[in-house]
């Protein structure tokens, strides 16, 4: 991710997932933090990130 538009694309896709409460994007670090009411299926997160045009890397904390 390199800009605010990138951050907005990812945020938009992830906030559409059921149960997501907040999405925080750190463009410089290329990191996204998702807070949700319950655990999110990794496949759904992967799909949302793919739809935004990015690749999911790392593992959930």
Quick check: is 37 in a domain?
Answer: yes
Quick check: is 39 in a domain?
Answer: yes
User: H or E segment at 53?
Assistant: none
Residue 10 belongs to domain spanning: 4-51
Quick check: is 40 in a domain?
Answer: yes
Q: What pLDDT is attached to residue 30?
A: 87
pLDDT for residue 60 is more than 80? no
pTM score, whole prediction = 0.86
Q: What pLDDT is attached to residue 58?
A: 77
Task: Decide if 47 contacts 27 (C-beta within 8 A).
Answer: no
pLDDT digits (tens, 9 = 90+) for 9-55: 999 999 999 999 999 999 999 899 999 999 999 999 999 999 999 98
Quick check: is 57 in a domain?
Answer: no
Residue 21 belongs to a domain with what CATH number?
3.30.70.100
Quick check: is 38 in a domain?
Answer: yes
Quick check: is 60 in a domain?
Answer: no
Number of domains in the chain: 1
Quick check: is 30 in a domain?
Answer: yes
Alpha helices in the chain (DSSP H): 4-15, 42-51
């Amino acid at each position: 991710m390199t800009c605010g538009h990138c951050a907005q694309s990812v945020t938009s896709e992830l906030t559409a997932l059921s149960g997501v409460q907040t999405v925080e994007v750190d463009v410089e670090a290329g990191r996204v933090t998702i807070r949700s009411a319950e655990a999110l299926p990794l496949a759904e997160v992967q799909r949302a990130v793919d739809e935004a045009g990015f690749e999911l890397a790392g593992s959930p904390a």
